[in-house]
Structure 1
Amino acid sequence: MAVVVGIILAVIVCLTVALIVRKRVYDQVDLIEKWKLDIMDRDVAKQIGRIKALNLSGETLEKFEEWKKQWEDIVTKSLPDVEKYLMDAEEAADRFLVPKANKILKEAEKHLQNIEAEIKEIMKELEELLLAEKTGRDGAEELKPRIKGLRSLLSQSRYQYGKAEKQFDEEIDKLEEVLDQYQESVEDGDYLQANDIIHDLKENADALESKLDTFPDLLKQVKQELPSQLTNLSAGMKEMRQDGYRIRHLGFEKEIITYQEQLKDIESQLEIADTTNVEQQLQHMEMRITEMYEALEGEAIAKHYMEQKGPEYEDSVNQISATYEATKQEIEDIKKAYHVENDDMERFTSMGKTIKALKEHIEALHVSLEDDKQSHSELKQEIEEGFKKIEQLEEEHESFKKSIANLRKDELEARDKLVEMRWQITDLNWKLKKSNIPGVPNFIWTRFETAIQKNEKVMEELDTYPLDMNNVQQALSEAKKAIEQAYEQVDMMLDQAYLTEQVIQYANRYRSKHPELDNKLKEAERLFRNYEYELSLEHAAKAIEEIEPGSLKKIEAYQMETSK
């Protein structure tokens, strides 16, 4: 019984699932049916009929017939085919052949998608044709008055275009012919071709309008302005040559002739209304003429400069030469008393060579002014460089004279320092004498003797002729160092001696109670009397530190306080 119930339930479930799946197929059929009906309801024929307002001939007629046939095929063939697909799908679903039904529905969807693409392409081509018609028509309406205006402009200003007026007339005629070609294409229903004609015509009209606008100025430059500038430039150069200006080397005459011939060629080119590269050529020519004027102006300025600065330059060279010779004689006298460094003499000799070159340059200038081989601009540049050299020579000469003058100054300063160091030795000796110490150790006297010998070495160098200040300075440095070392040793010795006395005096309070301390202090006193102050201090300090640690620092602090 349970098995029978299970089988019945299984059958019910399978039947339910089958019915649900079949219902989905029916739903999909309904959707595709609605899609098909939507396409049938579209007013594509009316849209296609919009081009009836145009000239139904030629290309337009071909398009109209083609689109009309495509739509009729869709309505009479393609959509009924879809209906057949739907009927086959329903039949398969009725027999529960769901996979077959789904396959048929996919074919139906694909068929409808192809129909949609075909309709879309029709609408696209239709809009392109209508847009081409409107664009062409608008363009033609704009161009007609423009072309007429160009004709009027040319007619009213024919004298500004010279012989090119005839060529421009022909170009305007060509524009009008093209406009007629547009109209013929429209009448033939070839609106796409007509639109292309209008597009090209607009570009040509723009180009002609621009050419007509710039042509009068170009022709005026070629026939009047630039020839006049070249003539004036040539006349000005002739006048400058007569006035003694050196401009032949510039080679402008040949260049002017070249430009004059070039202007004739350009004029011939303009006579046939050809402006290709004309503006660029004229701009280059104007720029070059400006450069020529600037070069001539520079030559005029250079000539004036030469007339003013030439004599001044020669006087400056002669003056620096005379100053150099005077310094040269002065050096000969100085060398008898002082040793002059080789570097200084080489620097001075180099100055002499530069002055000699400047004098030779003066002679070369005189020759150049007579032979007319160099321009005034080149000579001006040479003189300017010469003035810079003179200025540099004056600075170097002044620096050299100061270094020479410093020899005598350094000698006097050295002698003053020598006197000062001798006084320092005397002062140090007096300091020892009033110190009241038992005596002076031998190493201190050695320091004294070294300092005295170094001072005598300075004196020897100062008494040597010719005087070598480098040797003097070195001797001074060594003497100064010897005195400083002597001062340092004396101060250290006196400090040790005074501190030793303080330590012994402080330790005396413990002598009676500490026999061992007494013995150590006696040894320190013996060393003190034998001038061995450093050892004496070591013995005394060690002894008192054993009795009273830290006492040495206390004594040192007291000594520093009392010495202030």
Structure 2
Amino acid sequence: MLMKDGVKMIVLIGIVILAIAAYVGLLVYQQRIRRQVATLTTKKEAMEAIPLKDELQLVGQLSLTGQSLEDYENLQSDFSEITENRFTRIDDQLAQLLSDSRGVNLIQLRQNLTKVTTLVDQTDELIKSVQEQLTHLQEVDKQHRAAVKELEQKYQGLRKTLLAKNFAFGPSIDGLEEQLSQLEDNFDTFSRLTQEGDHQRAADVLNQLHDDTAVLEGLIKAIPPLYKDLTVVFPDQVKELRSGYQQLSADNYHFGDQNVPEMISTIEDHISANLDTLGDLRPDDAKVVNDRIATQIDSIYDLMQTEIDAKSPVEANLDGVAKFIAHAQNQSHALMAELDRLSQNYTLDHQEIETARELNEQLRGIDGIYQRDMQDLTGKTATYSQVLAHQEQQQKDLEQIEQQQADILKSVAGLADEEKQARDTLQQFDFDLHSLRRQVENLNLPGIPQTYLDYFFVVRDEVAQLATDMDQPQIDMERITKQLLIIQTDLDTLQEKTDDLIDSSELAEQLLQYANRYQTSHENVATASKEAADLFENKHQYAKALETIATVLDEVEPGSYKRLEDAYYQSKGKEKPKRDTDDTK
């Protein structure tokens, strides 16, 4: 029983604690609501303190019209909405919220607080928007009134410039004054709209005024220098060109196919047409034409100066070019004569005569141009720059021709020496062949290997053919030179074959004699000696005979062959050759 009473007491205490906590929480929340109401009240009072009405009255004094007036009237409506409606609603809602803060409907309190907070914030934003627009209207009015003064002064300055310097604009002056008058009319419209307070329409007119004024200022700046070129600079230059041409013509200067008077007249036509372009207020197009005119004038100056500059070097070059042509012609005649002489005895395989004839024709052409230039100079009809170009090209061509002539002469100059050397070499070849034949005959061999004889006869025939070619009325030295190289190589090979034949035959004889000491005691030596003797005496295969007997001797007396071979070459006073000793090769 006591336990149940204790539990009930604990539950009761818990309920009491919860109730106290809930009550305390309610009091805290109510206090928080009242503080937020106080904050919103302060913010609303601050908004009321803003002198919005004074600002409206100040802007209202601007005598606004049009869109600006409509904007102002909308701002007045916003002001009425704020002062007559929104402020009252804020006061009512804050008072109601403060009254409700003593109750216990916390959800309703939260909703009402959110609602009034939103209203206060929106009102604050509206007030700021009204202030900004009022400030904008004041600023636009200020700017437009300042623009009126600025533009008025600018147009007075432009008018003064056009009046004081109308001579600098030539045919453009009427168009410029017309544009200025149009600008002044538009300015009057802008000024009237500004005075009336219709700043929206005034702004549109002002933008156009700025653009058109910039265009007019650009024209006033661009036209005078262009007009000066067309009326002062270019005419003076044209006058100087015409006078210069007349003076140069009197001094017998000519300009080829260039019609200078016509070129000058064309420039004058361009000047006249471009004045009309300026009168149409098209300075960009006029500048393009002016640049073209300047280029044309410069080209005529350059044309004249080129002829003036060309005269002195032309006169200075005349004697040198004439001597160069004469020298080249003499060289050509000498070359042709030499080639004709050499062609009687030698075959010229590299078109030397044809090339020399072509060079001679080139010389004829060069001399023809030179003679025509001389006639023009004598007749005072020459264009100096053309003559100078001819002289410069002639100098290059003559240098090239002389070099080619020298190359041809050099290529054939040694033909006689080459022939003499070839004949000496042929004589030496014949001597070498007879010497090799005597060496082989002195061996008194039972026979000569056919392969050796065949090669010997080939070389002998080559030498005979060379002798025949050398005895021709016209010698082809290029072919002779090739034959000499081939025969020399073949003779060297024949010399090696002769040395091989001599060495192998003499060594075979010595080894067969040396082998006699072993024939009775060594059957294999006797057999090899018989085979080697057959190869030597009957088949004339001396290298094979040497190999056969040498092999068996090294078997019965190791090193005997090398010893006998070394002794043989030592007796001959020469080193052992490193070559194949096969008679068949």
CA offsets 1:329-371 (integer angstroms, 9 cap, x no match): 3333222222233722222222233233334434544565578
Matched, 1:476 2:488: no
CA offsets 1:127-167 (integer angstroms, 9 cap, x no match): 97677567656666665555555456556656645676676
Aligned to 2:208: 200
Percent of aligned positions that are identical: 19
Shift of 1:535: 1.8
Shift of 1:285: 0.9
Residues of 1 paired with 2:442 and 2:542: CA distance? 17
Q: Secondary structure at the match of 2:405?
A: helix
Aligned to 2:529: 522
Residues of 1 paired with 2:135 and 2:549: CA distance? 126
Q: Aligned match of 1:536 in 537, 541, 545?
A: 545
Shift of 1:321: 2.8
Shift of 1:43: 6.5
Q: Aligned match of 1:401 in 409, 414, 417?
A: 409
Matched, 1:563 2:575: yes
Q: Which runs of 5+ in 2 are unaligned?
A: 1-32, 94-104, 106-118, 577-585
Matched, 1:252 2:260: yes
Judge which range, 484-493 or 264-273, deviates more. 264-273
TM-score by length of 1: 0.69
Residues of 1 paired with 2:476 and 2:133: CA distance? 109
Residues of 2 paired with 1:416 and 1:542: CA distance? 46
Aligned to 1:23: none
Shift of 1:469: 1.6
- Do 2:277 and 2:285's aligned partners in 1 also have CA atoms closer than 8 Å? no
- Do 2:68 and 2:200's aligned partners in 1 also have CA atoms closer than 8 Å? no
Judge which range, 482-491 or 44-53, deviates more. 44-53
Structure 1 residues 482-501: aligned runs within 5 Å: 482-493=490-501
Q: Aligned match of 1:418 in 413, 426, 429?
A: 426
CA offsets 1:39-82 (integer angstroms, 9 cap, x no match): 999969988996765535122121132355468779969x99xx
Matched, 1:237 2:249: no
Residues of 2 paired with 1:519 and 1:116: CA distance? 145
Aligned to 1:103: none
Residues of 1 paired with 2:401 and 2:134: CA distance? 92
Shift of 1:292: 0.6
Shift of 1:485: 2.4
Aligned to 1:388: 396
One-letter amino acid of the counterpart of residue 325, structure 1: H
Q: Secondary structure at the match of 2:414?
A: helix
- Pick the structure with greater CA Rg: 2
- Do 1:219 and 1:267's aligned partners in 2 also have CA atoms closer than 8 Å? yes
- Do 2:187 and 2:209's aligned partners in 1 also have CA atoms closer than 8 Å? yes
TM-score by length of 2: 0.67
Residues of 2 paired with 1:509 and 1:124: CA distance? 144
Q: 1:258 to 1:468 in 2, by over 3 A?
A: closer
Structure 1 residues 359-370: aligned runs within 5 Å: 359-365=367-373
CA offsets 1:347-397 (integer angstroms, 9 cap, x no match): 222223323333443454456557888744334434443443333322222
Structure 1 residues 171-250: aligned runs within 5 Å: 171-172=179-180, 174-247=182-255, 249-250=257-258
Q: 1:403 to 1:40 in 2, by over 3 A?
A: farther
RMSD value, Cα: 5.7
- Do 2:339 and 2:353's aligned partners in 1 also have CA atoms closer than 8 Å? no
One-letter amino acid of the counterpart of residue 250, structure 1: Q
Q: 1:208 to 1:553 in 2, by over 3 A?
A: farther
Q: Secondary structure at the match of 2:472?
A: coil
- Do 2:171 and 2:275's aligned partners in 1 also have CA atoms closer than 8 Å? no
Q: Which runs of 5+ in 1 are unaligned?
A: 1-29, 85-93, 95-110
Shift of 1:234: 0.3
Structure 1 residues 543-554: aligned runs within 5 Å: 543=552
Shift of 1:236: 0.6
One-letter amino acid of the counterpart of residue 525, structure 2: D
Shift of 1:256: 1.7
Residues of 2 paired with 1:119 and 1:549: CA distance? 135
Residues of 1 paired with 2:383 and 2:132: CA distance? 77
Aligned to 1:107: none
One-letter amino acid of the counterpart of residue 294, structure 2: E
Shift of 1:172: 4.9
Q: 1:509 to 1:176 in 2, by over 3 A?
A: farther
Residues of 2 paired with 1:519 and 1:67: CA distance? 150
- Do 1:129 and 1:192's aligned partners in 2 also have CA atoms closer than 8 Å? no
Residues of 1 paired with 2:481 and 2:475: CA distance? 11
Q: Secondary structure at the match of 1:250?
A: coil
Aligned to 2:64: 57
One-letter amino acid of the counterpart of residue 474, structure 2: P
